[in-house]
Amino acid sequence: MRLSHEERSLPDPVCGMDLSRKASVEELEYKGRVYYFCADVCCRAFKEQPEKYVQQHRQHGIRSE
């Protein structure tokens, strides 16, 4: 059984928490990719230093949508 686009698990790029698109509190597009966040505080941290978190995302082999 395949998970729908809404149900697929994606990591919050700031804290690493796995969450589905439906469960995310915030979402943000950055350089053509959408990132999902578990809390407002994670989204704010990403907005302040997006490259820091995008780089960490890449180093761990994590893909955004």
pLDDT digits (tens, 9 = 90+) for 14-63: 999 999 989 999 999 999 999 999 999 999 999 999 999 988 765 444 55
At 2, the pLDDT band (50, 70, 90 cuts) reads: very low
Give residue 57's pLDDT: 62
pTM of the model: 0.75
Q: Hey, where are the domains in the chain?
A: 9-59
Backbone angles phi, psi at 46, to 5 degrees: -65, -45
d(Cα 9, Cα 31) in Å, to the nearest integer? 21
β-sheet bridge partners, residue 47: none
Q: For residue 2, what is the DSSP state?
A: P
Collapsing DSSP states into helix, strand and coil, what is residue 47?
helix
Q: Shortest CA distance to 14 belongs to which of 48, 53, 58?
A: 53
Q: Amino acid identity of 44?
A: R
Give residue 5's pLDDT: 52
